[in-house]
Structure 1
Amino acid sequence: MRLLNPLWCKPLCLFISIGQLSANLYAESASDHNENDIEEIHVIADRLFADSTRLSPSSRITADDLKAISLLTAEDSIAYEPNLVVRRRYVGDPNGVLGIRGSGMFQTARSLVFADGLPLHYLLQTRWSGSPRWSLLGPDEIANATVIYGPYSAEYSGNAMGGVVDIKTRTPQERRFIVQGHLLSQDYDALGKNDSVNGNKIYMAYEDNIGDLSLSASYNRLRNDSQPMSQYFTEANEAETLDELGVTGYVRGQDKYGNDVIYIGDSGAEESTTELYKLKLNYQLGNMQLRGTIAYEDRIREEHNKRNYLIDATGNTYWGLGNRNFEQRSQERNSLLLGFGVSAEIWGNWFYDIYTTNFEIIKDKEQRSGLNPNDPSFGSRNGRLTQFGDTGWNTLDIKLGTDTWFDRDDMRLSIGFLKDRYQLAINGFNLNASDGSVVSTRSPSQGETSTTAVFAQWGWQSNEHLDIALGLRYEQWRTQDGLYNNIQAPKRDESSWSPKFSIGYTLNEQWSLRYSAAEAYRFPIVEELYRNEAAATAVLIADASLEPEQGFHQNISLINEFDSGKLQINVFWETIKDSIYNQRGTINDGGNNISVSTFLAIDEVNTSGVEFIYEQRDFLLSKLSLRFNLNYTDAEISENSANTRIEGNDLPRIPSWRSNLMLSYPLNDQLSLHSSFRYASNSHGDLDNSDGGSEVFGAIDDYFFVNSKVSWRMNDALSISAGVDNIFNDTAYVAHPWPSRSYYLEGRYQF
């Protein structure tokens, strides 16, 4: 069954093709990151659920703020926001997973990402495969981004346990053509290998405003090579055997556990090309707002340059150790995202918003060669093809609300209905490595989850100082068609109630205090339930009986808002029961590193932390703008009956300390300087916290990245900028290596 149902897709696609839709009732002017006028659109949906940012701690970055960084991909827009991390290993990385507060970067189902209401989060898979589909959003479209921390609003499901990223794109106000290009270059030096990898990006857009219709048609292409993502090693005692054979080239070192090993190769540069074709149209039809988006992505990744360091006595490459690591790999992925919404005022001061989306993977196939084609044994081991079948999602979101309930200006009410369906199907084949023909099939993995939810949020401003809000969310969760290891999984039908409470007190014109508490349930996603797969270098084990995660979250915020900025302190506590965690270990078999992954339920994880946020324009020096945050998080495994030895350990991939600083200073009307700093302390990658190594493959290191950028606006049409990231070439790993010193050059012309 295809996800795109022709009964409703054809009229929807026809309507969207006529126009995207949203000339909105409320707007305010701002500047985009190229000093062009932007109309920041406040759609009715935002007015309906203004409580989402009122009741929850949040941070917002504007187009002016984004000038301080090299905005190369969409995830760059939130890279410096408080207490979060996007693990983008290189520019163009499709595996840019998001971790917020006590939800680690591999707990991807605990964060939601929206762009103009379109869901970019990928609630089908987890770990690196579950990263948001950032590449469906061109970075040059972004007007602002808001991070909402925790599930304190009834608007969002338990997948907001970490938080929500809400990105708004600019709506054209006049006709213009935009051409923008980037050149990228990165130096890489590790294990005695010196490289320089390069890339480029081009963005072209046509924007217009014709009466009640505004439109934007854009093309975004990113082509980049990465630093080697993986380094291959084996036990140090293998060196004796290699020495006896006269084999050289290996590099002695240590693994993340501090064991002596020898490194025998790396994955070489990963070549990535992503093309995004996008159409957005906004239309004001009487008092009705219509909006829609079509986004088509074409992505290709290749690992064809894996390097075997070992050289035999005759000067040829030695393939007798770890040869399975050096297989070639390629992936081609095509996907389509559609969104359509309508909003209006219906009577009195009541508003509604209806939004529907459809995402479909048109093609996604990954092919592996089994062994390297240069290996004399090539063809003796089968290659592999992994291909996605009917995979994607549909959502329908209906909201209704008023900010003057019962004609009382001090009361507000928002109610809503959500229906979604997520479907995943993965088929595997063993291939004849020589000619690519299918030799046999592997066990497929497939399944479907769906949720029906209703929710309500009520607020009462009882006086000029006191504000109270109550929320309630009900979810009915179902599974069907689950299949793993050729076994049909039983259907499941479960439900949950999630209450919300918040009370705020305004101390004076500048200071306010708010306490928020929420319960939330995060139901398992398809991969956690059904994907079981055994490969030559990887084993994945799912669990169809996983229970939903149950979280209780509390937050106290103290906020001081003043004319030129804001000071905010957040203190938070979280308790998650039945926390679903994917534990990944590595087994070495004859020099081949085999990854073993399994989904575990940890009985209880307790997290607490403090966030300090300070933002100010005209700081000290008359024109200096500053954004600073410092965050402390303590995530502890408090109960785990399956393995009590890990009780008291840190939850992996959550650093105790994070901090970010962004500085911008205009020298004059044309030239401006920008600097940014990112810091995180080290953390563990394993539940037993036994991985204490640093600056080695597999470690989760601390880092301090210093970046700079200079921007020159030559005239109204032409601007250029240049930047350097990781100026001091800090060596750090997030299992894979972070980028080393990188250079960017940008040029933009509009007319």
Structure 2
Amino acid sequence: MRSTHLAEGACALVLLPSLVAAHAAAPQSETVIVTGTPSQTEVASHIESIDAATAKVKINVVNTEDMLKYLPSITIRKRHIGDTQDPIATRTNGVGASARSLIFADGILISSPIGNNNSGASPHFAIAQPQDVTGIEVLYGPFAAEYGGGSIGAVVNIRTKMPDRFVVYAGVTGSLQPFAQYGTSHDYGTWQVSAGVGDHIGAFSFRLSANHLDATSQPLSYVTLARPSNPSSAGMPLRGGFNDLSRTGAPILVAGASGIEAQCQDTSTLKMAYDFTEDWQATYTVSVFHQGDTAKAESYLRNSAGDMVYAGSSNIGGYAYSIGASVFSNGVWHWNQTHLAQGLTLATAADRAWSWEFVASDYAYLSDNQRIPGTALPSAATGGAGTITRLDGTGWYTLDAKGIWRGWAEHTLSFGLHHDAEAFSQTKFATANWITAAPGSITAKAQGRTATEAVWLQDIWAFAENWNAIAGLRLEGWRAYDAINISATPPLNVNQPRLSARVLSPKLSVQWEPAHALRLSASWGLAQRMPTVTELYQTITTGPTLTVPNPNLKPERALSYELAGEYHTDQTRLRLALFREDIANALLSQSALLVPGSTTLYSYVQNVDRTRVQGIEVVAESKGFVIENLDISGSLTYADAKTVKDLAFAAAAGKRLPQIPKLKATALATYHVGEALSLSLAGRYADRSFGTIDSSDSNAHTFTGFDGYLVLDMRANYRIDEHWSIAAGIDNLNERRYFLYHPFPQRSFQMELHYAQ
């Protein structure tokens, strides 16, 4: 069915003209990370960017998302090297709002449109590996008509290389993290090898690359037990565990660690291009990602014989605990994934009076199976009953036709047509042996589809000397359909209603350059984000039954504003921006009544009446600062993020929005010792945030809490000759131990060797 829809859309796409990317590449700076905005006659949004050459010198990069970590207001929730659950946060959104950012790699949508969370809906950065990336651009705010509601926070465009001659390149990276917390003390190692070859032969060019990563993480979770209010002598006496406080300040026992991942990842990418004429070029990219992920758990509890204990009626420190079979087993799994990404682009040169670009992309879960034991450890480690969760058949595709016309007086007119479609399919099976057995009976199933069609128009009008007005309009039609929820126990079998919506999103910006080095701008934009499949069709256990909370969620409606001023010269840049975002019907997970007549609160995604984020962003950079050969760049973001109105959960009104710290900052200094050696010192800072919508998690420094942190990183990069380079780095140099729900990496050491011909 997906292939039929794609074929129909592709036929339609051939007939539709449209705009060459309005987000044309920003001019590259030789030595600084933040490169400023491109020509204001081509883009309506502010852009910050990083090129690969700069990242290689200044940043410890193992995965592509590492290149983003010092850009203004951007946070990457990367829990360890090779993490596949690594969403980005922006100046107005936390790491749990993955659907509020759009991420593309060569036009392929790699941010997941099937959910809005920091787990299964995280971006798929592995499709574009670091050795192939030429640069990354980040557009802030929903001010470009080209993009839909997912641009509320940011749009990230990853560009990959194509050779102009025969090239061969390769690299090897090793990392070591000595980790110690509670009862876990271990050295976790990671290694990565990459290679690529490419050539340009007449009108044809290609690049073939491969990347292999073996990574082992620190514990991603801790097993915690709520301490009973009264002492007791019941249960088997055990020793071990660590007394602590939960994020709400309640006494807990940390009984062990789980989710210790060992990952083996392989990415293979082929990119080909053909120049039909001097004006027209076709590009095709295909990338296959495969991962084998095994997670284990370890208990801190010991019986009288010194054996680890994972379950049962226990007495620890004079308190009785009942440890269920799944408490440790849920942190153990075998997970195998094979994903296929494809993109096809047909485009003209961008400097013509008429320019065109046609893009089709597809992302498919060819195979995605996670096996989890259903019985208690340690016996579950060798087999036994369990579950298999499959996402096979999940995926999405996009079709875009864009055009730009520069022949109308002082106007640059751009326009486009867009279509996307998403399919979500999740089936949970019982199995007799969670390691080896075939799937048994279906215990739960959820599926659904969404699709969007859009037409957009944008005009950039140079109405006076040094003045531009940029007006845009986007019309979208959205629908959700073919949705079902099935559960064996508790029983549920629901065919969900079809949904549809039509929305109009206007945009307006005014830009003025009163002097050669000064630019002022004011921007306003309306963006409307439609609910994702997993937000619509969630299920919750309510006693003996399952409940579908609300399959009729409303779209988020975001009004965004920005006032900005930028001073720039060849050596320095300073940018100050005031921003504000008001969202009506914000889609957030919160506690509220669900069952009529009940006083029990349940946590699920709901429309929150109104939220507001407003703040200040400062960006600065300088080349040759104070002393020659010293480059610095940095940013500071203040965000006042609050729930303004919430009729369903009154306790949330006036409280800070989850996962958005008040202050975030980055700083990066690089000293060039001659032409071959560069030394860098960088820092990332955020103050504490909250994980709950009512700010009830008062204790941030614990598992599931959201700590404040200051993390320092350093790097030395040495270019041996024109082909070889070597680098060494340390992340978290100051050994800051902090939680962003999960425990984050401690001090990590890295070595790299690279070759390029």
TM-score, normalised relative to structure 1: 0.89
Whichever residue aligns with residue 470 of structure 1, its letter is A
Matched, 1:734 2:725: no
Partner of 1:146: 137
Deviation at 1:237, TM superposition (A): 2.9
Matched, 1:58 2:60: no
Change (3 A) 1:546 1:467: same
Matched, 1:445 2:446: yes
Partner of 2:565: 558
Moved more, 387-396 or 675-684: 387-396
Secondary structure class of the residue paired with 2:260: coil
Whichever residue aligns with residue 546 of structure 1, its letter is L
Distance 2:44 2:7 in 1: 40
Matched, 1:570 2:571: no
Deviation at 1:438, TM superposition (A): 4.2
Moved more, 343-352 or 309-318: 343-352
Partner of 2:85: 95
Partner of 1:527: 534
Change (3 A) 1:322 1:240: farther
Deviation at 1:32, TM superposition (A): 9.7
| Partner residue of 1:389 out of 387, 392, 395 | 392
Secondary structure class of the residue paired with 2:240: coil
Matched, 1:86 2:76: yes
Deviation at 1:209, TM superposition (A): 1.7
1:171-192: per-residue Cα shift (whole Å, max 9, x none)? Answer: 2122121110001110111013
Whichever residue aligns with residue 386 of structure 1, its letter is T
| Partner residue of 1:401 out of 404, 412, 416 | 404
Distance 1:342 1:158 in 2: 25
**1:95–1:129 Cα contact (<8 Å) kept:** yes
Distance 1:540 1:181 in 2: 50
Map 1:265-344 to 2 at 5 A.
265-267=256-258, 269-286=260-277, 287-303=279-295, 305-318=296-309, 319-320=311-312, 321-327=323-329, 328-344=332-348
Change (3 A) 1:165 1:702: same
**1:32–1:143 Cα contact (<8 Å) kept:** no
Whichever residue aligns with residue 457 of structure 1, its letter is Q
Distance 1:533 1:95 in 2: 23
| Partner residue of 2:687 out of 659, 681, 688 | 681
Deviation at 1:283, TM superposition (A): 2.0
Secondary structure class of the residue paired with 1:403: strand
1:526-572: per-residue Cα shift (whole Å, max 9, x none)? Answer: 11112437699xx9966311000001111011011211232111101
Map 1:52-451 to 2 at 5 A.
54-66=43-55, 67-127=57-117, 128-237=119-228, 240-241=231-232, 245-267=236-258, 269-286=260-277, 287-303=279-295, 305-318=296-309, 319-320=311-312, 321-327=323-329, 328-344=332-348, 349-375=353-379, 382-405=385-408, 408=409, 410-433=410-433, 436-451=437-452
Distance 1:492 1:292 in 2: 34
1:367-425: per-residue Cα shift (whole Å, max 9, x none)? Answer: 10113452489988x411110132111211001112332xx2x2110010001111111
Secondary structure class of the residue paired with 1:77: helix
Distance 1:276 1:85 in 2: 24
Secondary structure class of the residue paired with 1:645: helix
Map 1:462-477 to 2 at 5 A.
462-477=463-478
Partner of 1:459: 460
Partner of 2:699: 693
Structure 2: gaps (5+ residues) = 12-19, 313-322, 487-492, 593-600
Matched, 1:489 2:496: yes
Matched, 1:749 2:751: no
Distance 1:173 1:439 in 2: 53
Change (3 A) 1:278 1:666: same
Deviation at 1:282, TM superposition (A): 2.1
Secondary structure class of the residue paired with 1:404: strand
Distance 1:134 1:719 in 2: 25
Identity %: 26
Whichever residue aligns with residue 507 of structure 2, its letter is K
Matched, 1:653 2:653: no
Deviation at 1:205, TM superposition (A): 0.2
Query: What count of residue pairs does the alignment treat as equivalent?
Result: 710
Distance 1:422 1:388 in 2: 13
Deviation at 1:210, TM superposition (A): 1.6
Moved more, 337-346 or 696-705: 337-346
Distance 2:30 2:130 in 1: 12
Whichever residue aligns with residue 710 of structure 1, its letter is A
Change (3 A) 1:242 1:584: farther
Whichever residue aligns with residue 249 of structure 2, its letter is G
Distance 1:75 1:680 in 2: 18
**1:540–1:598 Cα contact (<8 Å) kept:** no
Distance 2:451 2:664 in 1: 36
Moved more, 542-551 or 434-443: 434-443
Distance 1:684 1:525 in 2: 24
Secondary structure class of the residue paired with 2:464: coil
Distance 1:242 1:96 in 2: 44
**1:57–1:570 Cα contact (<8 Å) kept:** no
1:239-271: per-residue Cα shift (whole Å, max 9, x none)? Answer: 955786331011111111111111111115211
Moved more, 282-291 or 606-615: 282-291
Partner of 1:17: none
Structure 1: gaps (5+ residues) = 12-21, 34-39, 41-45, 586-594
Secondary structure class of the residue paired with 1:270: strand
**1:558–1:568 Cα contact (<8 Å) kept:** yes
Deviation at 1:610, TM superposition (A): 0.5
Distance 1:414 1:200 in 2: 46
Partner of 2:479: 478
Deviation at 1:665, TM superposition (A): 1.4
Whichever residue aligns with residue 675 of structure 1, its letter is L
Change (3 A) 1:346 1:164: closer
Partner of 1:14: none
Deviation at 1:238, TM superposition (A): 8.5
Partner of 1:717: 723
Distance 1:396 1:367 in 2: 34
Deviation at 1:504, TM superposition (A): 1.1
Secondary structure class of the residue paired with 1:267: strand
Deviation at 1:641, TM superposition (A): 0.6
Change (3 A) 1:298 1:549: same
Secondary structure class of the residue paired with 1:454: strand
Secondary structure class of the residue paired with 2:477: strand
1:612-658: per-residue Cα shift (whole Å, max 9, x none)? Answer: 00112111111111111011011100000111121000000000000
Whichever residue aligns with residue 260 of structure 1, its letter is P
Partner of 2:638: 632
Whichever residue aligns with residue 707 of structure 1, its letter is D
Taking only aligned residues, the RMSD between alpha carbons, in angstroms, comes to 2.9
Map 1:480-519 to 2 at 5 A.
480-485=481-486, 486-519=493-526
Deviation at 1:10, TM superposition (A): 12
Whichever residue aligns with residue 326 of structure 1, its letter is F
Partner of 1:16: none
Deviation at 1:704, TM superposition (A): 0.6
Deviation at 1:440, TM superposition (A): 2.7
Deviation at 1:662, TM superposition (A): 1.2
Whichever residue aligns with residue 658 of structure 1, its letter is K
Distance 2:704 2:27 in 1: 46
Change (3 A) 1:56 1:750: closer
Deviation at 1:700, TM superposition (A): 0.3
1:6-54: per-residue Cα shift (whole Å, max 9, x none)? Answer: 968999xxxxxxxxxx9xxx99997999xxxxxx9xxxxx99xx76974
Whichever residue aligns with residue 451 of structure 1, its letter is T
